[in-house]
Chains A and B, each alone.
Chain A
Amino acid sequence: MTPSARRTAQGVTLTEIMLAVVILAVSFLPIIGVMGASVKATAKEDSLNRAMNLCQEKLNTSLQFPFHHFDLNLGVEITSTVATPGLSLTLGDEIIEGVKYTSSLTVSDRPGSFLIPVRNLDVGNPDDPKTWTFTDTTVNYSNLVHTHKLKVSWKNKGDPNEKFYTLVTFRAKLSED
């Protein structure tokens, strides 16, 4: 082998290695991209879970207030702290780990009607339930059931769109209230 031929062979090997390094570097790019996307997705899910927990916590607290406590605010979105002796609920803005969460509560009346099968007292033997007959009666009601809707909204870092999470439940005026 002549010296010039040896140099050519060595040069090719160096080029090969450089090419291989470039190929590997390029192939790492999507991996890094996916990792970055994964970190962002985890952060989004973390803020969603935090909002969900906040929402549950605040809704549970709102259900502890006396039934008629919200009578003056029925149908109105409440965004400031509400309180009664021994109980308070923080609404409005809260900053947790750099993310601002805004909570609001809307309590509204949920009127409805009950279908009641009423026994016909004049028909059948009072001691024999088999002989009883019933007539369906509809009883309308209002201000006996409230809808509690709690909404938590927030913005993820680097995302201009507002996200929100809402929980809804019903609260009835039970005899213990």
Chain B
Amino acid sequence: MENDSVRLSNGRQGTAIVLALVFATILLQFAISYSGLIGQSRPQTEIIDERVRLHYLSKGLTEIALLKFQKFPSDFYNCWRNQASTSTNISFWLDTSGPLARFTIEAPEMKEYKTTGFAESTSSFNNTPICFNLTEMRLMTSNRWNVEVLQIKANAHYTTRSGKSINVDAVRTVRTERVTIK
């Protein structure tokens, strides 16, 4: 019996160390996974912060587009009427050819695809150029309610360090008054 107990005791030798090693391995695995998660949270913060920057840039572009409309309303309306009469596209304001496009989405001042020279169009994290452009400028007019509304949309986008494309739109809707000069 005494011999059996000695054999049993000898058989258990090293069990605590093995258990501790297994437990330590699990803990190490946990630490590695956790540090990986922390590493992943940084790019997420970058995306959130840059979205705000993109929003302000596209919002600023809608301001410039509205200024153009306010300075040259009759030219905009002429372009609009011409495009509406010649285009077969029901969303003719999205056509990229014709005078309306040259006034709006294809105008060079409405497409800031700069790679150099514009400090405002650079990401604060990785110096990647931020591109912003006007994507839509249309009248949402309804004669039924006698309302004249202009909607301006702009988009800003850039590519993160990890290659992910981030897009942010800004929409500005303004009520306008059309005055006919006779």
* CB-nearest residue of chain B to A144: B67
* CB-nearest residue of chain A to B170: A169
Tell me if B165 is interfacial: C-beta within 8 Å of chain A.
no
The complex places the Cα of A13 from the Cα of B6 at a distance, in Å, of 13
Q: Are B78 and A132 in contact (CB under 8 A)?
A: yes
Tell me if A1 is interfacial: C-beta within 8 Å of chain B.
yes
Q: Are B67 and A173 in contact (CB under 8 A)?
A: yes
User: Contacts A23-B17, A115-B102, A129-B85; is A45 near B45 (CB within 8 Å)?
Assistant: yes
Question: Chain B interface mostly helix, strand, loop or mixed?
Answer: helix
Q: Are B84 and A129 in contact (CB under 8 A)?
A: yes
Q: How many residues of B contact A (CB 8 A)?
A: 60
Binds B, one of A85-93, A96-104, A160-168: A160-168
Query: Which residues from chain B contact A72 at a C-beta distance below 8 Å?
Result: none
Q: Are A119 and B75 in contact (CB under 8 A)?
A: yes
Query: Which residues from chain A contact B78 at a C-beta distance below 8 Å?
Result: 117, 119, 129, 132, 134
Nearest-Cβ distance from residue A72 to partner chain B, whole angstroms: 22
Query: Which residues from chain B contact A172 at a C-beta distance below 8 Å?
Result: 63-64, 66-67
Query: Which residues from chain A contact B66 at a C-beta distance below 8 Å?
Result: 172, 174
User: Contacts A115-B102, A117-B102, A168-B60; is A19 near B20 (CB within 8 Å)?
Assistant: yes
B38, B42, B82 pick with most chain A CB within 10 angstroms: B82
Q: Which residues of A contact B (CB under 8 A)?
A: 1, 5-6, 9, 12-13, 16-17, 19-21, 23-24, 26-28, 30-31, 33-34, 37-38, 41, 45, 48, 52, 56, 59, 112-119, 128-130, 132, 134, 136, 139, 141, 144-145, 147, 149, 164-175
Q: Which residues of B contact A (CB under 8 A)?
A: 2-3, 5-6, 9-10, 13-17, 19-21, 23-25, 27-28, 30-31, 34-35, 38, 41-42, 45, 49, 52-53, 56-57, 59-61, 63-64, 66-68, 70-72, 75, 78-79, 81-82, 84-86, 99, 102-103, 107-109, 119-120, 124
